[in-house]
Structure 1
Amino acid sequence: MMEDDLTGVLGGHVAPPIWDLVDFTYHPEYHDARLVILCKGQMFAIDMDPKYFSDCPEQKEKYLFWIQVVDEGEVDGFVEEDFWDWAVAPLMPILEALPPSPGLETIHDFLFAKCTQYKLCAGPSGPVATLDEQASSYSSSFRVSLSERECAPFNVFSPSALKIFKGDKPLSFPWGHPEMVLLPDGTIAHLRLVHRGHLTLRDQLEAFRKINESVGSDTLVQRMHGLLKSENGDVHGLLLSHIDCKYHGIHGAAHYEDASMRPKWAKQILQSVERLHAAGVIWGYADPGNVLVDRNNDAWIIGCGNGYTKGWTSKGLAGTKEGDWHAVEKILGFQYVDDREFYFERRSTTLDSLPGIFGQPSTKL
């Protein structure tokens, strides 16, 4: 059904995209969606809705197929990134015609970049991007409201004070989703943007407060430098300690490194989790992807905050020490799951622990 229509959009011969994903949201019940991209220093929002395809049942069916892909993670070999390519394709002539950009210098440039809004509608031979002249002014979804009390434990940095960073120097780049920034004192920090309705944010902030105050600096766990906050009071993101990763995810590291490294990583993870628990912090999002192995082959824990990852911690154990240890035992099994399945659903079969590596957690905790 889809193959002929997608030839040339998803095939390997297509040139790399000149745009970068900024944000994607959709409603699982009403099936409307919004894709926000950045290209040559400008934002473009693409709004999609089944009713926009009501004049063409065939195109509506294709759109609903993509929503199914998002719901299920993968359908017939298609994944969410393929949906984004399909949605952006009608806009490509406009993107390609944009003049060169001097690039983005600061996080303010990124958060408040000019945004043009389009609707993706049914066209004569396929979807077309129609300028939405009636749309209200675009407002980034990367903003939350926090009370002064919630912000008080942390340093606050304004978007204009943070330079975008990549590699070994500040970067002026024409497009991209910034992940690293330079703090005013020259420290490299990892930027984690936050969304409106981020229900676990307050739990994460409380976890970082306890880590900063009660967990020794020799513990291999990500910390928080402060909050990214505008003058209007909106909080846009968390500024976290930068970990110079060699591998993102311990199972990937285990695949490429000698097996003799595994006891070291296991010891480091066990020690970090024990110290977190002693400080009243639950790891929560305990899964292999939240263990980073740096260039010294040390294993760092990230993602603290009382949640849980499906397949690694059961929902009934979410936010508990027992749930953390249950996940750690699986992680230290060093068995593998299918990359796509893990990426979209974070599923895993029960993993056996490595003999002689995983011990029982201290009952004193």
Structure 2
Amino acid sequence: MTFELHGTHIHVSIFPSNGLSTKDSNHLQPKDRPLQDHLIDIFSQVFKCEDSEERKSLHDEVLGVILKAGKPLFSQLTPKTPTRERSTLHRFLFAEILYFRLDCDSGAASVVPVEPEEAYAAGHLINRELGQTSEEELDLCEHIPRYTPEDIVVKNVFMKGVRHVTAAVLVDGRDMFCKAQGGPSQLRGGPEGRELEYLGKILKAFPQQDSVRVPQLLGYIHDKDTKRILGFLRQWVPGQNLGIEIDLAATATETKQKWASQIRESVQLLHKHGLVWGDAKPCNVIIDEQDDAWLIDFGGGFTTGWVDSQLAETIEGDEQALERIMALLSSKDNAILY
């Protein structure tokens, strides 16, 4: 398990009690099973569980044991207050990781420092080349500038994990939005890779910035050593999220009609060029400071209630979500959106 504590990334390996598998202790009662076997089985359920609340509960159960066992050591090794230094993207993508092993042999659980090579499946965290996507694997726009993580100042983090981040950033004095990852996941085939390629396709289809209300692709992020692609930079659109921050009940009917018309127009323009929005829903619409509606998030997927699973990432799915968004904006109810 890898997690962040006080700004420090910590990787804790849990090995089966017999060194090979937890199956040998499956016949034992839970109270008699080695703790590490129990935790491994719980953690394996996290990846199979479809219910987000149950998944979080399982994850927190394992994390709770680790934090309790490692509290004395973690408090010595991690800073109590975050640094006030100017944070570049490099700090988020390639931060130092401290490696430990959960030891239960003495009865009470404890954590023991280990070398990176001794950690479970940590090779992808050590090797910066492993899992990163090369330019040849992506459909890139040749004229779009490349930036390194060291060039990018992080202003506001919206989502982050170990070696991946979604944030508002500053590049050459200009506000931008970025999605990037320095860890093991391949860009190609994932939501970040789809969005990167789609923003490029949209830019080619609509080279004039004001021809469609979709944030413009502004740059690619690459590793200065390996030259591999880590993510992208796009236009920052100041405003409010339609699905989270806008009080529709307090919004004038004329304004909602304007947004509905703009959203429909943008989706139809995309479809004329064979482009699909993907995870179409109100939460992926930004209302800017001029009260105009922008489509965001081209990472694909679907959200229940807006697009049926069998229509995910299709024009038909976009049209289904569009009609539901239109119905929402024509309603007088202050609906709760997801």
**1:217 and 2:217 matched:** no
Q: List gaps (5 residues or longer) in structure 2.
A: 26-31, 158-163
Question: How far, CA to CA, are the matches of 1:241 and 1:124 in structure 2?
Answer: 55
Q: Give the counterpart letter for 1:36 in structure 2.
A: F
Instruction: Look up the match of 1:44.
Output: 10
- The alpha carbon displacement at 1:252 in A equals 4.8
Question: How far, CA to CA, are the matches of 1:126 and 1:296 in structure 2?
Answer: 60
- The alpha carbon displacement at 1:229 in A equals 0.1
Q: RMSD in angstroms over aligned alpha carbons?
A: 3.8
Q: Are residues 197 and 105 of structure 1, via their aligned partners in 2, closer, same or farther at CA, if it must alter by over 3 Å?
A: closer
Q: Could you state the TM-score of these two structures normalised by the residue count of structure 1?
A: 0.66
Q: Are residues 156 and 82 of structure 1, via their aligned partners in 2, closer, same or farther at CA, if it must alter by over 3 Å?
A: same
Q: Which residue, 99, 105, 110 being the options, matches 1:117? A: 99
Question: How far, CA to CA, are the matches of 1:245 and 1:50 in structure 2?
Answer: 50
Answer yes or no: is the 8 Å Cα contact 1:45–1:118 preserved in 2.
yes
Q: Could you state the TM-score of these two structures normalised by the residue count of structure 2?
A: 0.70
- The alpha carbon displacement at 1:276 in A equals 1.5
- The alpha carbon displacement at 1:149 in A equals 7.0
Q: Which residue, 160, 165, 174 being the options, matches 2:150? A: 160
Instruction: Look up the match of 1:299.
Output: 293
Answer yes or no: is the 8 Å Cα contact 2:249–2:334 preserved in 1.
no
Q: Give the counterpart letter for 1:44 in structure 2.
A: I
Map 1:1-365 onto structure 2 (within 5 A): 34-37=1-4, 39-40=6-7, 42-48=8-14, 57=33, 59=35, 60-61=37-38, 64-65=41-42, 67-68=44-45, 71-74=49-52, 79=57, 82=60, 86=64, 89-90=67-68, 91-97=70-76, 98-99=78-79, 101=83, 103=85, 105-122=87-104, 127-133=109-115, 134-135=118-119, 138-139=125-126, 143-147=132-136, 150-153=139-142, 154-166=144-156, 179-184=167-172, 186-194=173-181, 195-196=185-186, 198-200=188-190, 202-215=193-206, 216-218=208-210, 219-231=212-224, 232-247=226-241, 249-250=242-243, 252-254=245-247, 257-258=250-251, 260=253, 261-304=255-298, 307-334=301-328
Q: 1:303-325: per-residue Cα shift (whole Å, max 9, x none)? A: 22554445532343333322210
Question: How far, CA to CA, are the matches of 1:145 and 1:87 in structure 2?
Answer: 39
Answer yes or no: is the 8 Å Cα contact 2:46–2:59 preserved in 1.
no
Answer yes or no: is the 8 Å Cα contact 1:164–1:178 preserved in 2.
no
Percent identity, aligned pairs only, is: 23
Q: Are residues 36 and 224 of structure 1, via their aligned partners in 2, closer, same or farther at CA, if it must alter by over 3 Å?
A: farther
Name the SS for the 2:264 alignment partner: helix
- The alpha carbon displacement at 1:102 in A equals 5.1
Q: Are residues 128 and 262 of structure 1, via their aligned partners in 2, closer, same or farther at CA, if it must alter by over 3 Å?
A: farther
Question: How far, CA to CA, are the matches of 1:289 and 1:128 in structure 2?
Answer: 43
Instruction: Look up the match of 2:160.
Output: none
Q: List gaps (5 residues or longer) in structure 1.
A: 1-33, 168-175, 343-365
Q: Work out the number of aligned pairs and report it.
A: 296
Q: Are residues 58 and 242 of structure 1, via their aligned partners in 2, closer, same or farther at CA, if it must alter by over 3 Å?
A: farther
Question: How far, CA to CA, are the matches of 2:61 and 2:148 in structure 1?
Answer: 34
Q: Give the counterpart letter for 1:128 in structure 2.
A: S
Q: Give the counterpart letter for 1:73 in structure 2.
A: D
